Structure 1
Amino acid sequence: MNKLREMLAKFMYGRYGTDRLNMFLLIVLIVCAGLNLFVRNGYFSIVMSSWETLLIVLIYYRMFSRNIQKRYAENQKYLSLENKVKRFFGRTKYIQEQRKDFHIYTCPQCRQKIRIPKGKGKISVRCPKCGAEFVKKS
């Protein structure tokens, strides 16, 4: 067992290995394979099988690549995209949580979002960005 481990370590020396992008591609591959199992359509199966083959080749290519800088740059681009998606959904979740206790209005002049507590009746709101005043029900 140790001999096999040493041989694998020698083979992988100087190669890129796996990263978050490869893990994402592996998850996409598993989803494609699951869809291919449950959807019994000839054309769909052919398309999904070709996607699965392409993903397997891409995963192994990235894993065994010796061009570490290029694979690292690809992973960094993926991570920045993943962070944008996480921030978008996190922001949306935060806004939905705030809607329980606050009304969120938009300034008619500068389109700035303003958060007003619920249950205060009719109030005059002054925009902190442009200084415009408008009346809203809270």
Structure 2
Amino acid sequence: MNKLREKLAKFMYGRYGSDKLNMFLLVILLVCAGINLFLRNGYFSMLLSSWELLLIILIYYRMFSRNIQKRYAENQKYLNLENKVKRFFGKRKYIQEQRKDFHIYTCPQCKQKIRIPKGKGKISVRCPKCGAEFVKNS
């Protein structure tokens, strides 16, 4: 067992290995395989099978690549995109949580979002960014 482990470690020396992008591609592969199991349409099943094969080839290509800088750059692009998506949905979740206790209005001049506590009646709101004043119900 140790001899096999040594041979694998020697083979992988200088190669890129696995990263978050490979894990994401693996999840996509498993989803395609799961859909393919329950789908009985021949053409669509064949299309999914070809996608699965391409994903397997891409995953192994990235894992065994010796061009570490290029694979690292690809992974960084993926991580930046993943962070943008997480921030987008995180903002939406935060706004929904704030809507329980606050009204959220947009400044008519600078489009800055301003939150006003609920239940204060008709109030004059001053934008902290541009200083514009407007009247809203709270």
Please report the TM-score for the alignment, with normalisation by the length of structure 2: 0.97
Aligned to 2:81: 81
Superposed displacement of residue 43, structure 1: 1.1
Equivalent-residue separation in structure 1 for 2:13 and 2:108 (angstroms): 61
Aligned to 2:96: 96
Matched, 1:17 2:12: no
Considering only aligned residues, what root-mean-square deviation do their CA atoms show, in Å? Answer: 0.7
Aligned to 1:53: 53
User: Which amino acid letter does the alignment assign opposite residue 74 of structure 2?
Assistant: E
Aligned to 1:130: 130
Greater than 4 Å deviation, 4+ residue runs: none
Superposed displacement of residue 100, structure 1: 0.5
Please, which runs of 5 or more residues in structure 1 have no aligned partner? Answer: none
1:96 aligns to what SS in structure 2?
helix
User: Which amino acid letter does the alignment assign opposite residue 135 of structure 2?
Assistant: V
Deviations 1:95-120 (A, max 9, x none): 10000000001112222111100011
User: Which amino acid letter does the alignment assign opposite residue 48 of structure 2?
Assistant: M
What is the identity percentage for the equivalent residue pairs of Structure 1 and Structure 2? 87
Aligned to 1:105: 105
Equivalent-residue separation in structure 1 for 2:114 and 2:108 (angstroms): 11
Deviations 1:19-40 (A, max 9, x none): 0000000000000000001111
Please report the TM-score for the alignment, with normalisation by the length of structure 1: 0.97
Aligned to 2:62: 62
1:128 aligns to what SS in structure 2?
coil
